[in-house]
Structure 1
Amino acid sequence: MQQQSHLTPSVHPPVDVRSWYQARTPEERRAAGEALRARVPLASHAVWQVREGRRAAISLLEEQSAVRVSELIPLRYKRMSANAFTFYRGTVLIMTEDLSHTPVTGVPVQCVGDAHIGNFGMFRSPSARLVFDVNDFDETTTGPWEWDIKRLACSVEICGRANGLRPKERHDAVMRCLRSYREHVAEYAEMDYLDAWYDHIDVAESLARYARTTGGKRNRTLQQAAEKAAKKDNDAAAAKLTYFDGRKLRFKSKPPELVPLSELQDYYYDLEALQARIDTLFEHYRHSLYEDRRHVLDLYHYQDTARKVVGVGSVGQRAWATILTGRDASDPLMIQMKEATHSVLEHYCGASPYATHGERVVQGQKLIQSTADILLGWSSFIGEDGRTRDYYVRQLWNGKGSIDLDDLDYLGLSDLSRLCARCLAHAHARTGDALAIAAYMGDDTEFDEAVAAFADSYADQTEADYEVFMNLIGIGALPCAR
């Protein structure tokens, strides 16, 4: 018997981003944004009524888990159980369901889909500079811009609670985040399209600018993250995850987080068939690249593959790491191939127009991100159960640096939230109508105050849902690794 879904029907039909603004003058677009306030008042974004004991919300997690690698689900729940913030990071489906019942202006953008504060970070651009931007695109698709900024604002509040910040400090960090988003959308709205498109956040310049505003005091958390990111390259990935057996680089065995292909017989895989599927996956990925990038990839030679566990909310989705070498074993290239499934937004905003979910993720990333990995591509293969599985592919470590969220003080949370908000404003300005969004929000703090109030209430909701989640783990209704 098929399990009943707890999702509500689609309430926001698919929209064409370009159709919103291409037939209107700038003045008409500003006027349209201002006129939306009559239908969707700014203050209406503040409303959220906390509901206790939401067992149905946890059922949404179980529906997700049912289509993932079953032996990894206890690890997923373990990572989510650390505190209410890690729980929030893994519950984008629950929040999207909740957001579908909140006011929507109808101005579409390419949504990040899961724009919490942990899904932004540093990576190396093709010019070898560290930049800061969105770094998770599993849920990206066309949708309401409000959902992204609300998800980000809530994550700032919940992260602040998890780190023991005082209510005033948390509120101030959330307000700085929202102000940064509002002011940067307005700034991009007045820029030439290409200038807005090319804009990016250079990490070194941003850290220096923030230091000037605090009397020369450097943000220690962000500075340390930048220093670590600068060292995270293919050489470092190979040194940490592989060893040289005298002939080839082989993956180390660190189950369940890292399991070499040769050891997966313990999980009832037909290893010969699995290797054939990996080969097919890699070959199809190669054809998704531009010709010059295929040329670079073709210089490398296959060594080994392992199943890798990634993220918090992503645990249980199939992910593979492949190591290749170029000139010799001292010239490694580490590739990650991660499964792409339906975006949680698609149920509410309409199906993606792309042929596969791997392409949806990749094309969405290229639209949103200021500079994408040169080896970013997508692929598909037929899985062991006969179903087609979509993947997106990129370098595992390309100067990729995440922020240590567990020890963020007020300064760290405030600066990080402003950086994330600027990235989000840039993504929305690149892919939607910044003029209409800026005109709707206005130049005062009414929108900021409304979303900050929502963030505070929804943080209470998350803590209530987290309590239900932990109780279910406690009575054995949900499996959790020890």
Structure 2
Amino acid sequence: MTQTLAQLVIEGQHRRSTTPRGSLGSGFATDRDPLEILGAQNANRLQSLVPLRWGRMSASPFTFYRGAAALMAHDLAPTPTSGITVQACGDAHLSNFGLYASPERALVFDLNDFDETLPAPWEWDVERLVASAAIAALHRGHSEAEAHEVALTAANGYRAAIRRFSTLSAREIFDYVITVDYIDQRVKATSTDKAQRKARAQELERVARKARSRTAGTAAAKLTKQIHGETHLIDQPPVMQRLASDQLPSDAARVPELYLDSLPLKMRMLLSRYRPVDYALRVVGVGSVGTRCFISLVVDATDDPLILQIKEATSSVLAPYAQPSEFANQGERVVTGQRIMQVVSDPFLGWAEAEGHHFYVRQFRDMKGSFDLDRFSYDMLWGYARLCGAVLARAHAQSCEPGLIAGYLGKSATTDRAFADFAMAYAAQNERDHAVLVEAIRSGRIEAQTDV
């Protein structure tokens, strides 16, 4: 039976008796070998790319953190939770939020990485987010006090937003879109310092302009060349390695056709007008390096290009510690989680299974844009962390009654402080773990490679 908002809030408040709010984030695991946990992921990856993964992770504590979702999932497993489950992202760090095009071609800001999505405690996503905020602040050279404040505002952004969403109807939450125009309006309304307001607005416009320019056509122009009158993808090793049709693994070669079954009829009809032209192995991200990821260049009768990304999906890093996925196909798990958490999703998004491997498919670089945290002033990082906290709250509100979480969190800053304290403690642990990797590379225990 559906509960009223008042009943949900009271139930959330009652959960404090078994899990005090101040205990959140306490007792995370530290007695483990970080490289053993992270290295276990490499068993089923392309071994030629594993050194590149280690190289990218070794660059800084922040890049290490980006690739260490499996390690953090292990570390968070014993921490206290309120017992409230949501569709969790599983890797909700600051760099996994960004801009992309809605089906109506509006620029939307939302979570954009769902490789680890699974039903799990909402606290795990918030803890992943606030720790990334603290680590990013320290990476930018800010003080520990400033890093604590950035983590605090990310937690507060989540709590304030989940409280606001608890007062909205289910339909209002379902349709709640955060666009670039909305962010621009918020920047102008909330920034009291004229110089800071101008800097935020200029950075937002820069990223939005770049995202709008990243269409299938511009991607094809950058990534392809004409050879004897035919369009081919360009070799850019080790990031992109062109594959002839007979070099593409047979399972991946079947995906563009097999995945059509997961799409609506209108999308199947649209894709039926395109033919494959070329393929490439494409290295993406930090934590995903080594997974089987390909791009497929297809064109229609007018030679209009479309680039599809075919990415292998493996088990979520949350799987050993959360409830199992209801989907046997890991690609379907990723796609379903993304469709739940995002307010609007890529219409080309789908999944397939071929020869025992699971894949999901999406558009490549269709008006996608990300914020470069290295360009952020302290004020920008503070505002961005708060925005990401609010966006995460909206994503959670799609799969859970927000009144339940709002009731548990309450009106005070108790949980904000608990999460911020956790963030600083985990940032210190992350630095120690990063140092272990750097030493392992220096001593020759681990082979690492850079992109250059």
TM bin (shorter chain): over 0.9
Within-5 A mapping of 1:253-402:
253-262=235-244, 272=246, 274=248, 276-329=250-303, 331-382=304-355, 388-402=356-370
Residues 349/55 of structure 1: CA separation in 2 closer, same or farther (3 Å cut):
closer
Q: Deviations over 1:416-455 (max 9, x none)?
A: 1122111100011111121110000001111101100000
- Mapped to 2, the partners of 1:286 and 1:236 lie a distance apart of 25
Alignment of 1:189 onto 2:144: no
Residues 69/218 of structure 1: CA separation in 2 closer, same or farther (3 Å cut):
same
SS in 2 for 1:161: helix
Within-5 A mapping of 1:17-166:
22-48=1-27, 51=30, 56-166=33-143
Alignment of 1:414 onto 2:388: no
| Deviation of the 1:242 alpha carbon | 1.0
SS in 1 for 2:262: coil
Kept in 2: contact 1:357–1:391 (CA 8 A)? yes
**Which segment drifts farther, 461-470 or 405-414?**
405-414
**Which segment drifts farther, 83-92 or 318-327?**
318-327
- Mapped to 1, the partners of 2:308 and 2:218 lie a distance apart of 13
SS in 2 for 1:287: helix
| Deviation of the 1:246 alpha carbon | 3.9
| Deviation of the 1:55 alpha carbon | 5.9
SS in 1 for 2:447: coil
**Which segment drifts farther, 163-172 or 409-418?**
163-172
Amino acid at match of 2:211: A
SS in 1 for 2:104: coil
Normalising by structure 2, we get a TM-score of 0.95
**Which segment drifts farther, 431-440 or 273-282?**
273-282
Kept in 1: contact 2:27–2:78 (CA 8 A)? no
Q: Identify the residue that residue 220 of structure 2 maps to in structure 1.
A: 238
- Mapped to 1, the partners of 2:365 and 2:26 lie a distance apart of 41
Amino acid at match of 1:44: S
| Deviation of the 1:49 alpha carbon | 6.9
Q: Identify the residue that residue 153 of structure 2 maps to in structure 1.
A: 176
Q: Identify the residue that residue 7 of structure 1 maps to in structure 2.
A: none
Amino acid at match of 1:359: E
Q: Identify the residue that residue 10 of structure 1 maps to in structure 2.
A: none
- Mapped to 2, the partners of 1:153 and 1:374 lie a distance apart of 31
Alignment of 1:427 onto 2:395: yes
Kept in 2: contact 1:335–1:395 (CA 8 A)? yes
- Mapped to 1, the partners of 2:380 and 2:53 lie a distance apart of 27
Amino acid at match of 1:278: A
| Deviation of the 1:289 alpha carbon | 0.5
- Mapped to 2, the partners of 1:115 and 1:354 lie a distance apart of 21
Q: Identify the residue that residue 186 of structure 2 maps to in structure 1.
A: 209
Kept in 2: contact 1:300–1:326 (CA 8 A)? yes
Amino acid at match of 2:340: L
Kept in 1: contact 2:25–2:127 (CA 8 A)? no
Residues 474/118 of structure 1: CA separation in 2 closer, same or farther (3 Å cut):
same
SS in 1 for 2:212: helix
- Mapped to 2, the partners of 1:275 and 1:72 lie a distance apart of 16
Kept in 1: contact 2:25–2:80 (CA 8 A)? no
Alignment match of 1:472 (pick from 440, 443, 450) = 440
Identity among equivalent pairs (%): 37
Aligned length, in residue pairs: 445
Q: Deviations over 1:13-59 (max 9, x none)?
A: xxxxxxxxx554433322110011110001101535785xx661210
- Mapped to 2, the partners of 1:447 and 1:196 lie a distance apart of 23
Amino acid at match of 1:210: V
Kept in 1: contact 2:116–2:318 (CA 8 A)? yes
Q: Identify the residue that residue 430 of structure 2 maps to in structure 1.
A: 462
